[in-house]
Structure 1
Amino acid sequence: MRKFPVIILLMLLLAGWWWLQHPATPAPSQAPAATSSAGVPSASVPQALPRTLPGFLPREALTTLDLIARDGPFPHPQDGATFGNREKHLPQKPRGYYREYTVETPGLSHRGARRIITGGRPPVIYYYTDDHYDSFRSFTVSP
């Protein structure tokens, strides 16, 4: 009779472990899937984001833009922090105007060099850098 509670306990532990490894996914949206200008599907892009984005943005930028639109939660503690514009590559604005966000690079175990910089709160201007602030390309995010 003692084996029965042990088996139940083991089954519950196994079920809990499986649930942690396979979190529930949200139901698919009825809205048509957005795509980048490179034809990359972006089903997680909220309606506030455009249906197309510039071809120079990597696929992972769509996830970052989605997180920015939702105000997080962000994968890195530095995301959303003030970007100081110390290199002065962007127009001069008061401190706190610019914010930086990581664009993940597949295969790296660290943040890498790719960032989206936003200006304003809520953001009114967007910049992308893939060389850790040496150069920037502006783009717009509008419906």
Structure 2
Amino acid sequence: MRQLKPLILLVIVLFAVTFWSRHAGKPEATAPIASHADGNAAPRTPDVAKEGSASLPAQARQMVQRINQGGPFEHSQDGVVFGNYEGLLPKQPRGYYHEYTVETPGARTRGARRIITGGTPPAVWYYTDDHYRSFHRFEVAR
């Protein structure tokens, strides 16, 4: 029986390590995956609500103007490629999305608010106020 205890412990540890390594780093689904009538899974649609730019905070509306004018931008990160690592925006080739800081009054850092544009010049616009946890699509008049 003494020889079985280390063997059982080893099996439990191996199971735990295998389970952890398969699930580590995988984000939890934020929305259920829809199924087609034939039972095949459909890709998850990002939670992106269309809204007018008038519903954006004043700082975001100012940033939209700066983006359309080509600057100036206060932060060196403004205009850099947004990787869409969260996978919440529609899949596009690397370099399609760019991010811009939306100032947060009173914040000492860049804060959590961003505008993400897609295309050059921007064809699609997204706003996040929770540091990429959710996005809201909005339209910009040309």
TM-score, reference length from structure 2: 0.62
- 2:109 — aligned with what? 110
Q: Which runs of 5+ in 2 are unaligned?
A: 1-51
Contact 1:105 / 1:112 at 8 angstroms: preserved in 2?
yes
Q: Determine helix, strand or coil for the equivalent of 2:95.
A: coil
Structure with the greater alpha carbon radius of gyration = 2
Q: Taking every aligned residue pair, what percent have the same amino acid on both sides?
A: 58
- 1:23 — aligned with what? none
- 1:132 — aligned with what? 131
- 2:78 — aligned with what? 79
Q: Which runs of 5+ in 1 are unaligned?
A: 1-51
Q: Determine helix, strand or coil for the equivalent of 2:115.
A: strand
TM superposition outliers: structure 1 runs of 4+ over 2 Å: none
Matches within 5 A, 1:1-143: 53-55=53-55, 57-143=56-142
Q: Determine helix, strand or coil for the equivalent of 1:67.
A: helix
Compute the RMSD of aligned alpha carbons: 1.1
Q: Determine helix, strand or coil for the equivalent of 1:99.
A: strand
TM-score, reference length from structure 1: 0.62
- Residues in 2 aligned to 1:66 and 1:94: alpha-carbon distance in whole angstroms: 26
Aligned length: 91
Residues 85 and 131 of structure 1: CA distance in aligned 2, closer, same or farther (over 3 Å): same
Q: Determine helix, strand or coil for the equivalent of 1:64.
A: helix
- Residues in 1 aligned to 2:54 and 2:132: alpha-carbon distance in whole angstroms: 19
